[in-house]
Amino acid sequence: MQNQVALLAEGIFSSLHPEELQALSECVHIETHKAGETLRFQRGFNVLLSGDVSVLRESMEIGQLVRGDGFGDWGLWGWMQTRVTLRANTDIEVGVFDDAGLERVVKQYPGTILRVLRNFSRLMDAHLEDLSNALLEAYRAPSRATESSLKITIDGQEQEIRVGTPLSSILPREVDGKPVVSALFNHKHISLNRPLYTSGTAEALTRDGLEGRMIYRQSVSLLALEAAHRLDPRLKLRIGPSLGFAYLLEVEDYAGMTPSELASRLYAEMQGLIREDVVFRRDYCSLDEAKARLAAQGWDDAVKLLRKSRNASVALVSCGEIYAIEIVPLVASAGILDHFCVAANGNELLLYFDSTDVHEAESCNLHPRILAKQHDTWLNGLGLTSVGAFNDICIAGDVSKIIRVSEGFHEKRISQLADMIVDPARHVKVVCIAGPSSSGKTTFLKRLSIQLQVNGFNPKCISLDDYYVDREKTVRDENGEYDFEAFEALNVELLRQQLHDLITGKEIRTARYNFATGKSHPEGGDWMHLGESDILLLEGIHGLNPRMPFDQSDGVFRIFINPLTSLSLDDASRVSASDVRLLRRIVRDRHTRAITASSNIMRWPSVRRGETKHIFPYQTMADAVFNTSLVYELSVLKVYAERYLLEVDEDDPAQTVAFRLRRLIDRFVTIYPENVPQTSLLREFIGGSCFEY
């Protein structure tokens, strides 16, 4: 009996309670059929409990049944049972219910039938979507001979499958114990519930990888907005800036609830959607239809974005009544989403990606959150509420104003930091500057130096990059690759001695590292001495690490820099700050180091792992934070990045990210680089800076 309960707990019965499943198991008779057998339609209600079944009409396959599908008089294909044939493709088990037993269950548990009907409607939608996709595919390729089977390669093993088979039925549910959230098909993102119509290579994605994590977070975000709508249509919820471990949720109307009450009720509603295992649908519709749907739900910024689209059609995603523009394919259904949490932190509402990170809000540095809000405040003051609004302002001819204000925002903040450093009460002698890759540390250092000189101080700069050990002595990560982000990659003893000598008034000759040869030169740099009005600027990814070899108790000022904010695409998604940094890096390295976009993309996961391990944990040590975001930068980077990303071959593993980044920059109006000031931080990546690097 227990085995029958387990068999029933999927598909149309997936949201039922254990006691309801137990009652159903007592009124079902299980039939078994061998692969290749033809099934007869039973009277009443039947459910496929295991295996899969083809629906044939005159020997042509027109559909499939998978585990959990109901069929027969009360289910799928019942109205066509005299014209279609069901054939078992594998050994299968079918549950045949007796009417009297079902009647008893419904009387005992009245809510059962409502939950079953909801699930049945959901599954019917999925089947209709598969059928419509098949028709669209046939319509788009009328001259091509129709194939009945495909060849799909998974983990190097080729297998033959039926045309229209969804990815979910051929990929594992877990990889190394981690749930599969989506997939790559021929190096392109694709949802697990998408049927296949061409041969190719499929790869499962878990949420532990960078791309899988993005899909997971995007799915949780849309689920939160759908839950808010179901909770109370008056709630105006929007995904705000990322804190790394969580999104700030922007709430325009709390519908009479306090932040803590809303957090509790929103989380409960999201859990209800997960118990229902609601399907994430993808609707491919005309541009006008998409704009109408988004306008109807009050998403004006999304409508603005689509008005400038060069495409005649657009993909929308939903898990209920709320639609969003597809940024990446989402999970197949909500049942896979777990570990997230919604919690109030003072007057802020946060959507945590992992419930174990809830304590992070209390322990994390407040600077990024404060600066993110300040940044959004002045953006909103200019009408820059989203990518769509930004494009409108650019087209209206206000590009110069956007650039001037963006650069002015940077200059004012750098000036404020310089004033803090030279405050006599602080007695600052060493300024440590740290940030992740492509955050703009080098240009920030040069502009801060100018502001310190304006205040009458003479900055002396040391880059921690010059204190790397010889390449062959560099520690390796868990994949056996050089871990240049590790603290142990530095010659700590040399750094300790030279910093001690400098701070105690001695003159030293700084180190120099040759990146071309991978060799360290302990005395290959310039001579340096710290005088009375001198301040040492120490720049590098480990600048905030408490293991830095000097007394950090007094006279040290720490600055963390990173692009912290970005524009929203619609209410459910924002441009990723990580993608901004990757695009900066791709353009800079292709310009100055002849490193291809493909090489940078493939290296990026390792860079991100190093940042997560060696940089971000120490941002709480910072005395101040500098937000290096420039609202217009993707429009400029697009001029270069578009070509560099097109250089990535279609069969290159980097194509997945390259294609996604191309779609991202395609949403921005182009701004030509001659409009960018020579002092801009962006010049570090596109060239033409007045500073020497």
d(CA 84, CA 25): 29
Q: For position 39, what pLDDT does the model report? A: 79
Q: For position 77, what pLDDT does the model report? A: 59
Parallel, antiparallel or unpaired: strands 53-57 and 149-154? unpaired
Q: Which of the two residues, 466 and 364, has the higher pLDDT score?
A: 466
Q: Which of the two residues, 117 and 516, has the higher pLDDT score?
A: 516
pLDDT band at 412 (very low <50, low <70, confident <90, very high): very high
Residue type, 145: A
Which of 304, 339, 360 is a domain's end point?
Answer: 360
∠ CA 306-243-418, nearest 5°, is 105
d(CA 267, CA 636): 40
Mean pLDDT of all residues in 287-316: 92
Q: For position 133, what pLDDT does the model report? A: 57
Mean pLDDT of all residues in 436-444: 92
CB 394 within 8 Å of CB 648 = no
Mean pLDDT of all residues in 584-604: 93
Kindly report, residue by residue over 349-399, the tens digit of the pLDDT: 999 988 766 655 555 555 555 556 666 677 777 788 899 999 999 999 999
DSSP state of 627: E
Q: Which two tokens stand for residue 26?
A: 């007592």
Q: For position 391, what pLDDT does the model report? A: 95
**Does the residue 142 lie in any domain?**
no
Kindly report, residue by residue over 648-668, the tens digit of the pLDDT: 999 999 999 999 999 999 999
For tokens 């704009």, what's the residue? Answer: 291
Kindly report, residue by residue over 526-540, the tens digit of the pLDDT: 999 999 899 999 998
* CATH classification of the domain holding 280: 3.30.980.10
Q: For position 373, what pLDDT does the model report? A: 62
* CATH classification of the domain holding 474: 3.40.50.300
Secondary element (H or E) of residue 374: helix 366-381
Buried b (16+ CB within 10 A) or exposed e, 295-308: eebebbbbbbbbee
Mean pLDDT of all residues in 280-292: 90
CB 326 within 8 Å of CB 315 = yes
Q: Which two tokens stand for residue 46?
A: 């039947």
**Does the residue 602 lie in any domain?**
yes
d(CA 471, CA 489): 9
- Write down the mean pLDDT value for the chain: 86
Q: Are residues 23 and 168 in the same domain?
A: no
Q: Are residues 280 and 383 in the same domain?
A: no
CB 91 within 8 Å of CB 84 = no
Instruction: Compute φ and ψ for 462, nearest 5 degrees.
Output: -130, 130
3-state secondary structure of 73: coil
Q: Are residues 670 and 549 in the same domain?
A: yes
**412 Cβ contact partners less than 8 Å away, ≥ 6 residues apart:** none
Q: Of the candidates 326, 354, 387, which has an alpha carbon nearest to the alpha carbon of residue 566?
A: 387
Helical spans, DSSP H, in 310-365? 360-363
* CATH classification of the domain holding 196: 3.10.20.30
Q: Which domain holds residue 154?
A: 149-206
3-state secondary structure of 309: coil
- Percent of the chain exceeding pLDDT 70 equals 87
Say whether pLDDT at 137 is over 80: no
Q: Of the candidates 563, 505, 599, 586, which has an alpha carbon nearest to the alpha carbon of residue 681?
A: 563
Q: Are residues 202 and 258 in the same domain?
A: no
Give how far Cα 322 sits from Cα of 123, 228, 254, 297, 306, Å. Answer: 18, 10, 18, 7, 17
d(CA 323, CA 325): 7
**33 Cβ contact partners less than 8 Å away, ≥ 6 residues apart:** 39, 88, 91, 92, 93, 94
Mean pLDDT of all residues in 457-476: 92
Kindly report, residue by residue over 472-482, the tens digit of the pLDDT: 998 887 778 78
DSSP state of 567: -
3-state secondary structure of 542: coil
Q: Are residues 503 and 620 in the same domain?
A: yes
Q: For position 583, what pLDDT does the model report? A: 98
Sign (positive or negative) of CA dihedral 355, 625, 562, 386: positive
Mean pLDDT of all residues in 447-473: 94
**Does the residue 19 lie in any domain?**
yes
Q: Are residues 349 and 391 in the same domain?
A: no
Q: Are residues 652 and 626 in the same domain?
A: yes
3-state secondary structure of 658: helix
Give how far Cα 612 sits from Cα of 244, 353, 474, 609, 619, Å. Answer: 10, 15, 19, 5, 11
**Does the residue 138 lie in any domain?**
no
Give how far Cα 56 sits from Cα of 50, 62, 64, 135, 362, Å. Answer: 19, 6, 9, 16, 59
Q: Which two tokens stand for residue 3?
A: 């085995």
**Does the residue 132 lie in any domain?**
no
Q: Are residues 423 and 468 in the same domain?
A: yes
Q: Are residues 225 and 346 in the same domain?
A: yes
pLDDT band at 145 (very low <50, low <70, confident <90, very high): very low
d(CA 244, CA 468): 28
Parallel, antiparallel or unpaired: strands 200-206 and 85-88? unpaired
* CATH classification of the domain holding 18: 2.60.120.10
Q: For position 591, what pLDDT does the model report? A: 85
∠ CA 537-594-663, nearest 5°, is 95
Which of 206, 222, 253 is a domain's end point?
Answer: 206
Q: Are residues 465 and 330 in the same domain?
A: no
3-state secondary structure of 346: coil
pLDDT band at 318 (very low <50, low <70, confident <90, very high): very high
d(CA 72, CA 446): 74
Q: Are residues 291 and 390 in the same domain?
A: no
Instruction: Compute φ and ψ for 361, nearest 5 degrees.
Output: -65, -35
Which of 119, 136, 171 is a domain's end point?
Answer: 119
For tokens 């040290």, what's the residue? Answer: 556
**Does the residue 129 lie in any domain?**
no
Say whether pLDDT at 183 is over 60: yes
Q: Of the candidates 156, 154, 192, 157, which has an alpha carbon nearest to the alpha carbon of residue 173?
A: 192
Mean pLDDT of all residues in 412-438: 93
- Percent of the chain exceeding pLDDT 90 equals 49
Residue type, 610: G
CB 36 within 8 Å of CB 71 = no
d(CA 641, CA 56): 49
Q: For position 168, what pLDDT does the model report? A: 85
Helical spans, DSSP H, in 277-365? 287-296, 300-307, 360-363
Q: For position 551, what pLDDT does the model report? A: 75
d(CA 291, CA 616): 39
∠ CA 30-18-115, nearest 5°, is 85
Q: Are residues 18 and 53 in the same domain?
A: yes
pLDDT band at 144 (very low <50, low <70, confident <90, very high): very low
Kindly report, residue by residue over 33-81, the tens digit of the pLDDT: 998 888 776 666 788 888 888 887 766 677 778 777 877 766 665 555 5
Number of domains, the chain: 4
Secondary element (H or E) of residue 188: strand 188-190
Compute the 3-state secondary structure of the chain and give helix, strand, coil in percent, each to the nearest 5.
40, 25, 35
**Does the residue 137 lie in any domain?**
no
**Does the residue 424 lie in any domain?**
yes
